[in-house]
Amino acid sequence: MDFRRATPEDFSDILKLQATNFIDNLNTEDLTDGFLSAEFTCQQLEEIANDVALLVASDKGRILGYLCACSCDYYKQFPLLATMIRSFDSILYFGKPLRSYNIFIYGPVCIDKSHRGRGLLRGLYEVLLGEISGKYEVGAAFVSKDNPHSLTAHVNGLGMASPGGFEFRGRHYDILAFSIES
């Protein structure tokens, strides 16, 4: 398995993986393994790749997972993310508001159903930590409270903290946070 930065040739495969896992396209049974709350366009993927990072897990030319990481400045154009970023004023992480840190936003992340539980999430996360070391102090993610599989993978699996949450259009989200070693 190769974990690397995405190139423009990967974008169509990322869009397919994204569509398959978008909340509105999943049946009730598949929702239990997690879902994506938002869909990006091809142009937005390119902008994310040029902002902080767009990473892929690829095997023999097949894209099996991807992970987006972006600045608050870029993501604040999306209403759900703007609400999350506003909550950074009041959510404390190690005694200080999240807003006071040099912070970026982790996610969305998605692993192909056929390859979940096989270390791809951890592989993408570790490459991301290497890519951003020295550039940011803290990463923050949001996960829907209706997505316990993702919450467990990130909190119990990757060791992220859960310092607070927010509400957007009647749905509740947890905010996860993790520190970056420089």
Helices H / strands E in the chain, number of each: 7, 9
- Indicate the pairing of strand 103-111 with strand 138-144: parallel
> How many whole angstroms separate alpha carbon 155 and alpha carbon 152?
5
> How many whole angstroms separate alpha carbon 159 and alpha carbon 32?
21
> How many whole angstroms separate alpha carbon 112 and alpha carbon 132?
24
Site string for ligand COA, 150-179 (x = CB under 6 A): x-xx--xx----------------------
Q: Which DSSP string corresponds to 139-169?
A: EEEEEETT-HHHHHIIIIIT--EEEEEEEET
Window contacting ligand COA (CB under 6 A); options: 5-13, 41-49, 80-88, 107-115: 107-115
Residue 146 sits in the site that holds ligand COA (CB under 6 A): no
Residue 182 sits in the site that holds ligand COA (CB under 6 A): no
Nearer to ligand COA, 134 or 159 (CB): 159
Residue 55 sits in the site that holds ligand COA (CB under 6 A): no
> How many whole angstroms separate alpha carbon 146 and alpha carbon 163?
17
Q: From the list 21, 44, 58, 87, which residue makes contact with ligand COA (rule: CB under 6 A)?
A: 21
Per the DSSP assignment, residues forming a β-bridge with 177 are 140, 161
Residue 114 sits in the site that holds ligand COA (CB under 6 A): no
Closest CA to 49 of 17, 104, 8, 105: 8
Nearer to ligand COA, 159 or 170 (CB): 159
Q: From the list 45, 107, 140, 173, which residue makes contact with ligand COA (rule: CB under 6 A)?
A: 107
Residue 39 sits in the site that holds ligand COA (CB under 6 A): no
Window contacting ligand COA (CB under 6 A); options: 1-9, 33-41, 77-85, 88-96: 33-41
Site residues (vs ligand COA, CB under 6 A): 21, 33-36, 107-111, 116-117, 119-122, 143, 147, 149-150, 152-153, 156-157
